[in-house]
Amino acid sequence: MPGRAERGASRRPLLGAFFAALALAIASPPPARADPLPAGFVWLSDVDPTIRQDIRYAGLENFLHRKVDGYDAPVCILTTQAAKALSRVQKAMTEKGLTLIVFDCYRPARAVSDMGRWTREGGPPDPQWYPAVERGDLIAKGYVGELSSHSRGSTVDLAIAEAGRKGAVHPACGAPDGGTLDFGTGFDCFDPMSETAYRPLPAEAAANRKMLLAAMRAAGFRNYAREWWHFTLAKEPFPKQRFDFPVTAA
């Protein structure tokens, strides 16, 4: 019948186009998935998900009282070597019923610039973060750097906490509610009290600093003497290179 002939005729080119497209799809491999991190970098959670993360510059609880440019997610990114070394420290802590807690890891160069601009705006001391120095003097006093080893990807700011327990110590200076052991100050307390060897300290705080220092040294990290929480992998893979990709989630 004329009607059936016309329907059949209209179906054949459509079927032909379908099979041609199917053949092309089979012949063409799917595009490769691009790695969102530069070669040599990993999300710490992919290497050791047991390490607690409290990335301060991705939120409001930091010395700027706002999110820092370049921190699009509260996650820790490190070079592969630094992440593996940190995992070795975590294993040693786990045996003691403790855990590492990281506050900052890789820091984009744009974040360092953001901190510098903010510092140069000036202002009075902040009793929580820099109680004895003017905001405009933070760079000159060495508390905020024009450049940062964090941008090389093998530097980490961290402390130790009791595994499975959060929030016991509330330091007078530095990051609040970190849930860490007593280290005498909180993270990012810009004051001489934060120097690793500062004395006098309460015996417990001094012992905790000594424990963190010994554990990190054993894994190949060196400490920045003015900040008990700041460590850089001694044999870092990018000793002269700074990166500026944003901190994003996996």
Residues with catalytic function: 227
User: Contact 162/204 with Cβ under 8 angstroms?
Assistant: no
Name every residue whose Cβ is closer than 8 Å to that of residue 37 and which is 6 or more positions away in sequence. Answer: 43, 77, 245
Nearest to 161 by CA among 84, 224, 229: 229
Distance CA 226, CA 150 (A): 15
Distance CA 182, CA 51 (A): 18
Distance of CA 249 to the CA centre of its chain: 11
User: Contact 140/150 with Cβ under 8 angstroms?
Assistant: no
* DSSP helix/strand/coil, 206: helix
- By residue count, the chain amounts to 250
